[in-house]
Amino acid sequence: MFTGIITDKGRVRAISKPGDTLIEIDTAYDVARIDIGASIACSGPCLTVVRRGVTDGQGWFAVEASAETLSKTTIGDWRVGTPVNLERALRVGDELGGHIVSGHVDGVGRVQSIVAEGQSWRFRFETPADLMRYIAQKGSICIDGVSLTVNEVEGDVFGVNIIPHTFAHTTFGGMTQGQRINLEIDTLARYVERIRTSN
């Protein structure tokens, strides 16, 4: 489990395909404290660490992405140099600063627009129609691993406000119009919809 609070912005250092796609990610984490088999949310998807090391003073870890993962997320868009939002798995007793996030991507959306508003930015996202029933104004949403509050909902588009800290310390600062993004809906919304439709 995760909270959607990003604790490092890593960068893809290498991609290879010995079988499944192997992705090495540079990180500021102390890699000696990352266990092989640990789960790390990488711009949304929860991935398993299969290798780790230090090269020229730079720590890195490697994860594998299956064909299924590539087809259901934006990982297939990644290239060497792509920035990646990182979050270690939640430990019992950790502060829950965002909302409960599973690291299971529900769908892929697209950046419709980015508009500066004062010192913040308003992002609007085109979203698969089947996910919109789970997205509500003032509800929670996870975008590329970041826990955010929905500001507006209109048709198959919703908007969020990105404050300067989030813009600077996550991949939002480099997003562009038309870019694909990973979406995870709020777990509570999923169960509420299930209860509603089963009655």
* Residues 82 and 20 reside in one and the same domain: yes
Domain end marker among 57, 88, 119: 88
**What domain count does the chain have?**
2
Helices and strands in the chain, H and E counts:
3, 12
pLDDT in tens, the chain (199 residues): 899 999 999 999 999 998 899 999 999 999 999 999 999 999 999 999 999 999 999 999 999 999 999 999 999 999 999 999 999 998 877 777 788 899 999 999 999 999 999 999 999 999 999 999 999 999 999 999 999 999 999 999 999 999 999 999 999 999 999 999 999 998 877 777 767 777 6
Residue 156 CB neighbour total at 10 angstroms? 16
Query: 96 in a domain, yes or no?
Result: no
pLDDT at 197: 74
Q: What is the pLDDT of residues 89-109, one digit of tens each?
A: 988 777 777 888 999 999 999
* Residues 122 and 149 reside in one and the same domain: yes
* Residues 81 and 49 reside in one and the same domain: yes
* Residues 191 and 132 reside in one and the same domain: yes
DSSP state of 90: P
* Residues 193 and 120 reside in one and the same domain: yes
pLDDT at 178: 98
**How far is 41 from 100, CA to CA, in rounded Å?**
13
φ and ψ at 76, to 5 degrees? -65, -15
- What pTM does this model have? 0.93
pLDDT at 199: 65
Residue numbers of the domain that contains 61:
8-88
**How far is 84 from 81, CA to CA, in rounded Å?**
9
**How far is 59 from 64, CA to CA, in rounded Å?**
17
* Residues 194 and 113 reside in one and the same domain: yes
| β-sheet bridge partners, residue 46 | 41
Query: 97 in a domain, yes or no?
Result: no
Strand stretches in 19-165, DSSP E: 21-26, 39-42, 46-55, 58-65, 83-88, 107-117, 120-126, 140-143, 146-154, 157-162
CATH of the domain at 113: 2.40.30.20
SS3 label, residue 76: helix
Domain end marker among 88, 118, 141: 88
